[in-house]
Amino acid sequence: MTTVTARPQARQGEENFPLGIALAFVAFALYSGMDVTIKLLTKSYSVPQIIALNSLFALGPILAYAAIFGGLYNNLRTRRPVYHVIRATCGLFSSFFAFWAYSRMPIADAYALAFTAPLFITALAVPILKEPVGWRRWSAIGVGFIGVLVMLRPGSGLINLGSLAVLAGALFYSVGMLVTRLARNTETSVSFAFYATLASGTVFGAMTPWLGRMPTLHDLGLSALGGTLCGVAFVCLLTAFRKVPAAVAAPFQYTQIIWGVLFGYLVFGDVPDRTLFIGLAIVISSGLYILYRETVLGRQVTAPAKRECT
C-alpha cells in the first residue's frame, strides 16, 4: 500500500506542481489497472499464487528507482529491521484480504470500503504512537464510519465475507502505515516497499507448490502486466511526492473510485448503486478532513489506503 514517509519529499528547487499532480493521477490509474488484472486472475488461480507473481514482476521497477535515486545501498539499508518485519507481516495480510475480496465483489465497492484506512490510522495512532487525537478528528472518524454503514446497509445482505475482508485489509494496512511513521526518520519509502514486496513474493511463493498451478502463457503475461503496472505506479507516486507536498498528492488517491467504476463497468459489467456513492462521499469527506487536520498540526501526512505492490 502507498504511504508517505519522511523520504522522499519535495525539495526546494525540485517542486513542479503540474508534473507532480500528473504523476499522482497516473500512479493511481496504474494501480487500478493492476487491480483489474488481479480480479481477472482470481477466476482461475489462488490468491497466494497471484500475489507471488505480482510481487516478482513489481520488484524490477522498484529496484530501478532505488538505483537511480540515491543508489541501492542508501535506499535499501535499514537500521530498524524489526519494523520491516512487522510492516511486511501487515502487508501479507492486507494484500491477501484485498486481493481475495476482488473475487467476491466489484472493484469500486472494494475501493469505497478501503478508503476507511485513514480513519483506522487516526484512531490507532492513539494507542500505537501515543499521538493525541482531538475531538474534531474523532468526530470525523465517527462520521466516516457512518458512511461505511451507509454503504454496507446492515440487514441488506451486503455485509458479507468480501466486504469484511476489505475492512480487515484496511485495518492491517493501517497498522503497517503506523509502523512506517515510527521509523520514518531512519527508513526510506523505497525500503518499506521493497522488503514488503520481497516478503510477499517469498512467503506466498512458498505456498504455490500446494495452492498454485502452472499458469498459461496468457495468464503469465497478465501477471507480468499487473506486477509491472504496480511497480511503475509506485515509482510514479514516489516521484510525485518529490515534486509536490504530500498534502497535495495524497488526495488523488480518491480518483481511484473513478477508475474502479469505469473498469468495473467496461471489464466486468458492474454498476454501483446510488447508496454506495452516498456512503463513499461521507467517507471521502471524513478522510480529507483528517488529512487537512494532519497538515494543520504538522504531522506526517498519510495517504489513503493502497497496496504498494503486495
Q: Is 218 exposed, middle or buried (0-12, 13-18, 19+ CB in 10 A)?
A: exposed
Residues 6+ apart with CB under 8 A from 203: 92
CB-count exposure of residue 164 (10 Å: 0-12, 13-18, 19+): middle
- Give pLDDT, residue 22: 94
pTM of the complete model:
0.89
From residue 41, give the alpha-carbon distance in Å to each of 38, 54, 59: 5, 11, 19
Separation CA 153–CA 239 (nearest Å): 39
Q: What is the pLDDT of residues 119-156, one digit of tens each?
A: 998 899 889 888 888 888 899 999 999 999 888 877 66
Distance in angstroms (rounded) separating the CA atoms of residues 284 and 265:
22
- Return left, alpha or beta for 155; rule: phi > 0 is left, psi -120 to 50 is alpha, else beta: left
Average pLDDT over every residue of 251-262: 92
* pLDDT score of 290: 86
**pLDDT confidence of residue 68:** 92
All 3 cell numbers of residue 206?
Answer: 512458498
